[in-house]
Structures are given as structure tokens and as C-alpha cells.
Amino acid sequence: GFDGTGIHWKENFESMFSEICEIGRGRFSVVRKCLNKSTKKEVAVKFVSKKMQKKEQVAQEADVLLHVQNHQLVALLDTYESPASLMLVLELLEDGRLFDYLVAHDELMEEKVSFFIREILEALQHLHTCRVAHLDLKPENIMVDLHSPTPCIKLIDLGDAVQLSVHRRYVHLLLGNPEFAAPELVRGTPVSVATDVWSVGVLAYVMLSGVSPFLDESPEETCVNICRLDFCFPDEYFGDVSQAARDFVSSLLQQDPRKRPSATACLQHPWVVRGGAHGGEYSKKPLDTSRSSLHPVQERREHRNNRRPVRTQKFRTGSRAWRKS
């Protein structure tokens, strides 16, 4: 397995790099843009506090990154440590997050959503072939790279990733926002590569509609909705979305992980397969990118009331019969 024992930690970070600015924050880490003094290349450096995380955990993340490296995953360039921190030197992804890129477009077509879902599935297919589950797939961890001939995605933050073994059941502790988390993460039952497939279903729902299928007023209520599989496709948000897209989302959002298709099987779905949706059954109407769910996580939290269709004014006073019973 990727136990991190082979990772070599250098100690001369400050003589090699100068810090430029902060570009992100995680639960136990800060990501800063830094300059390599000798090559003059800018990089992203993830600084993990030694007080907050064990060295073995960070070494495991580094080990996974090295072993699963491909064009759809952020590249690990080097590893350093100081008395207070462990540093992962990563490629800098200047083009930002996928969701921000989608929001910046005046017209988001369903075909484009299908394209990016296919990209995410291809990245997962590679990870899963390496028996690695990401376990923290959410908008903040999906970057876009616009430097290639066609835009592509890169997954970042493999801090929760784990190499699964046939001999050992692995239960993962859900620490963050449960919005994109599968029922097995919420319940504390064993995870699998199918845990990531569920998250793709939630991502697709959000990208197609601009609302989130399970998000509610509190994390507890969100968890209840996830475990009850309490979602549907309200016309207000899905009126212009094709049946093929809805079928795709429904096939992924299944309680039983064994019933969810693999990433490879997802790539064969009519809505995702290249040339897609039975040769062009995508909806031809632009999707609404103004809705809050595609915006950064801070705004998504602020607009929480707007995210679950049940919270909109239209349904607040009436019955909840439109929801899945």
C-alpha cells in the first residue's frame, strides 16, 4: 500500500522558495503560491501544520499522489518539512475551479456539463484502477486546466484518499460539509470506490440545475436527506434538462453502493459517452448559471436557503408532496 514510508522530506524550503500569496485553506492546511528561486517557476505549496496532522497522514497523501499521477490529477513536485509544517510542492493550477469557470460562461449547455462529468469520471476511473478512492469529491477539489487544446479538469486534495484493500474494510470519518457525501460516509459504514460515484451524481445534479439535491438548513438535516435518499427533479429547476441526464443522476444516487455503476460503466451511459445522449438528445436550452450552487462554497453556504428546492418560497407554505416520499 501507499504508506508514505518512502517519501523523502527535504529541510531547506526557505532557501529554495519565496512565498507570494495565500490561494486556499483546508481543515489542517494553507495553500500558498510560491516562487521556486532557482527555476523562477511558480508553484502551489500546501503547508500542513504538524500540530494538526500526523506526519504519516501527510506522507500517505504524498505517496498516493506520486503513485496515481496522470494528467487529470494535480502533480506532486517535491516534499519539504520545517519545525512547524510539512510542505507538499504541487503544480500551480492558475485557471481556478471548474464551477467558477462554468459560472463565468453566459451560456452553459447540457452538453458541456456532460463533457466535464465525463472528464471527472475519467479521472476517477484512473484512481479506481489504482484501487484508490478520493472520498472528498466536491466543487472545491475540481480545478480546470485551460492550457490544453480542449479544457480539462484536474482533481486536487487527496488528503482523504485511501488505497482500498480486499482484506480490510475501511470506514472513513466524515469531517467536512456532508453536501456531496454518500450515505455510507454519513452512516460510518465501509466505503468503496462507489463512494466517489455517488459524489459525481450530486455534482451532476448541481451543475444541471444550480440547486443541491440534499443540502438543508443544517448538516444534520442534510445527512437525514442523504440517508433517506430524499431528492427529486422539480420542474422549476429541471424543466429544460433532458431525460437522459436525469436517468444518469438517478443511476448514481443509489443507497446501496453495490448497485451504483462503476466509473467505467458510467462512461458508457448514453448521456456521458462521447457523441452522447443517443446521438444528440441533450437539451438544447441553456442552463441557468446564475443560481447560487455553482458559486464558491462561501456563497453556497450563505445561499443555503435557496439551494434545496423545498426551501424556495413556492413550496414553503404548501405540502411537501412534490418531494420523494
CATH number of the domain to which 183 belongs: 1.10.510.10
Average pLDDT over residues 196-212: 95
The DSSP symbol for 27 reads S
Q: Tell whether 290 is covered by a domain.
A: no
pTM of the shown model: 0.86
Indicate if 100 belongs to the active site. Answer: no
301 pLDDT band, cuts 50/70/90, is very low
Instruction: Specify whether 31 is located in the same domain as 172.
Output: no
Evaluate whether 163 touches 1 at the Cβ level (below 8 Å).
yes
Instruction: Specify whether 189 is located in the same domain as 76.
Output: no
Report the first-to-last Cα separation within the chain, whole angstroms: 43
Identify the helix (H) or strand (E) that includes residue 221: helix 219-227
Structure confidence at residue 175 (pLDDT): 77
Structure confidence at residue 143 (pLDDT): 96
The DSSP symbol for 140 reads G
Whole-angstrom distance, CA of residue 163 vs CA of residue 133:
6
The pLDDT tens digits for 229-243 are 999 999 999 999 999
Instruction: Specify whether 72 is located in the same domain as 181.
Output: no
Domain boundary among 65, 90, 115: 90
Domain containing 85 — which CATH number?
A: 3.30.200.20
Whole-angstrom distance, CA of residue 70 vs CA of residue 118:
16
Q: CA 204, 214, 283 angle in degrees (round to 5)? A: 30
Domain boundary among 90, 125, 154: 90
Q: What's the mean per-residue pLDDT of the chain?
A: 86
Q: Which residue has the cell 481543515?
A: 27
Q: Tell whether 321 is covered by a domain.
A: no
All cell numbers assigned to 234:
422539480
- Is the pLDDT score of 319 beyond 70? no
Across 51-81, b (16+ Cβ under 10 Å) vs e yields eebeeebbbbbbbbbeebeeebbbbbbbbbb
103 pLDDT band, cuts 50/70/90, is confident
Structure confidence at residue 287 (pLDDT): 67
Evaluate whether 213 touches 178 at the Cβ level (below 8 Å).
no
**CA trace torsion 209, 155, 274, 284 (10° rounding):** 20
Binding-site residues from annotation for ATP? 46
Q: Say which of 63, 78, 136, 145 is annotated catalytic.
A: 136
Residues with Cβ within 8 Å of residue 115, at least 6 apart in sequence? none
Look up residue 91 and give its amino acid: E
Q: Tell whether 325 is covered by a domain.
A: no
Structure confidence at residue 263 (pLDDT): 98
C-alpha distance from residue 85 to each of 55, 73, 178 (Å): 9, 23, 28
Q: Tell whether 64 is covered by a domain.
A: yes
Whole-angstrom distance, CA of residue 325 vs CA of residue 313:
20
Instruction: Specify whether 81 is located in the same domain as 197.
Output: no
Structure confidence at residue 154 (pLDDT): 97
Binding-site residues from annotation? 46
Q: Tell whether 239 is covered by a domain.
A: yes
Average pLDDT over residues 15-20: 98
Strand partners, 143: 97, 154
Q: Most distant CA pair in the chain: distance in Å?
A: 65
Q: CA 189, 265, 160 angle in degrees (round to 5)? A: 40
Structure confidence at residue 190 (pLDDT): 95
Average pLDDT over residues 174-190: 93
Structure confidence at residue 27 (pLDDT): 82
Whole-angstrom distance, CA of residue 2 vs CA of residue 32:
26
Structure confidence at residue 303 (pLDDT): 41
Structure confidence at residue 2 (pLDDT): 79
The pLDDT tens digits for 128-178 are 999 999 999 999 999 999 988 888 999 999 999 999 988 878 898 887 889
Q: Tell whether 118 is covered by a domain.
A: yes
For 73, the domain range is: 13-90
Whole-angstrom distance, CA of residue 305 vs CA of residue 313:
10
The pLDDT tens digits for 38-75 are 999 999 999 999 999 999 999 999 999 999 999 999 99
108 pLDDT band, cuts 50/70/90, is confident
All cell numbers assigned to 62:
504524498
- Residue 301, phi then psi, degrees to nearest 5: -70, -40
Instruction: Specify whether 52 is located in the same domain as 170.
Output: no
Alpha carbon 247 to chain centroid, angstroms:
21
